[in-house]
Amino acid sequence: MWKTLPQVLKSSVVLLIILSGICGIAYPVLVTGIGQLFFQHQADGSLVTFAGRTVGSRLIGQPFRSPGYFWSRPSDTSPFPYNAESSGASNLGPSNPLLREHVERRIQRLRHGNLTDPEPVPIDLVTSSASGLDPDISPAAALYQIPRTLPCTESSAQGPDCTCATAHQGPYLGNIGGPARECPDAEYRSQKDAYAAAAATTCEGFLEAVTEPV
């Protein structure tokens, strides 16, 4: 045994050096090179630039509050919304009264900001995602905010003849998820992107499902 120990140690050290070179140097350099060559924007973090400076990433939402922007989904990350270093949800279950309280408070803020008749509020505008970083909103959420954000006439903003531009991304790979509007990337590209159709899911139905009416 002791006679073969030097040979075993030598083989182990050589194998360690070889694997460290392959896994620690060659493979990262190869993957980074391919990413920079074919997917540079994505490899660099899908960053969004505005007025010549980097303002965010297409993969991480931002808490827009200006009337001219489409507002994003709520975020429950701490110590501030959309904190990429602290991804997570509120962990409030359907039986928790705090969930209803949070949803109702968000409904009031949205309706106060929109200054429109009390239409059903899309559910993704009053509930946070599991990561707290979701950068997208649904077509329903975008359509709900049109009266506040777009320079449409009152009649066209409420009907299918709205002349505002329509822009959204479809389901991932054609069948994963649903259509969504990118935020914050689309916000910085243009404040005039909107949708001409809305989903039927509303936060009122969600409230009825999770708790008894008060």
pLDDT at 162 over 50: no
Tell me if the pTM is above 0.85: no
Query: What confidence tens digit (pLDDT) does each residue in 18-76 have?
Result: 999 999 999 999 999 999 999 999 999 888 888 888 888 888 988 887 887 888 899 99
Which residue, among 81, 90, 142, has the nearest Cα to 114 in the 3D structure?
142
Q: What pLDDT score does 120 carry?
A: 84
In sequence order, the β-bridge partners of residue 53 are 50
Q: Can you give the pLDDT at residue 206?
A: 41
Mean pLDDT of 81-87: 89
CA distance 61 to 133: 5
- How many CB atoms sit inside 10 A of residue 204's CB? 14
* pLDDT value, residue 172: 60
Tokens representing 136?
Answer: 């997208």
Per-residue pLDDT for 95 more than 60?
A: yes
Tokens of 145: 């905010």
Q: Nearest 5°: phi and psi at 48?
A: -110, 130
List the beta bridge partners of residue 76. Answer: none
End-to-end CA, the chain: 79
Using pLDDT thresholds of 50, 70 and 90, give the confidence band for residue 213: very low
Q: Could you report the per-residue pLDDT of 114-148, keeping only the tens digit for each?
A: 766 667 888 999 999 889 998 888 888 888 888 77
- Looking at residue 136, its pLDDT comes to 85
Q: Please report which helix (H) or strand (E) contains residue 194, including its range.
A: strand 193-194
Q: Decide if pLDDT at 197 tops 70.
A: no
Using the predicted structure, report yes or no on whether residue 150 has a pLDDT greater than 80: no
Question: Between 183 and 57, whose confidence is greater?
Answer: 57
Taking alpha carbons only, the member of 123, 153, 155 closest to residue 140 is 123
Helical H runs in 3-121? Answer: 5-21, 27-38, 40-43, 97-114
pLDDT number for residue 142: 84
